Amino acid sequence: MEISPLSITNEPPILLLPLFGAAVRAGFPSPADDFVETPLDIREHLIKHPSATFFARAEGDSMTGFGIFNGDLLIVDRALQPQHGDVVIAAIDGELTCKILDLHEQLLRAGNSRYAPIQLNDYAELLIEGVVIHSIRYHRCSR
């Protein structure tokens, strides 16, 4: 059996293109030669702890007030300590859900008035699975 993990860390960088200013032999040397830098890699911005990060798909409308819509891509970091006000993934009785963590009131809040907040103490089996550090939305209409 073949194992072909597509881990976040080891993927070859997609956006990195080396700048070979010096390869231009004729003419004036590029004034940028002394300032060659690697281009920005979006993963550096989105992912701080690759081996503790997973992606998930949001489903539902309870978080629209915080800008998370149905179908959005969630980037979830399990290495972060959940803080008051974080968007978190919680497992409630074995079901994964995305809410705002309110540590002052010991609640999980929805971002939509149609959904009642959830008392942290009401559930014996409530675990915070990770912190949603980014959400990504595709903005073109056709897909």
Pick from 101, 110, 118, 131: which binds another protein (CB under 8 A)? 110
Interface with another protein, residue 62, by CB under 8 A = yes
Q: Whole-angstrom Cα distance, residue 76 to residue 92?
A: 17
Whether the CB-CB separation of 8 and 50 falls below 8 Å is answered with yes
Whether the CB-CB separation of 90 and 107 falls below 8 Å is answered with no
The span of 17-25, 27-35, 39-47, 68-76 binding another protein (CB under 8 A) equals 68-76
> At its nearest, how many Å lie between another protein and the CB of residue 22?
27
Interface with another protein, residue 97, by CB under 8 A = yes
Residues 118-137 that bind another protein (CB under 8 A): 127, 129
Among residues 4, 30, 99, 113, the one annotated as catalytic is: 99
Radius of gyration of the chain (CA): 21
Active site includes 99?
A: yes
Q: Whole-angstrom Cα distance, residue 76 to residue 127?
A: 14
Residues classed as catalytic:
62, 99
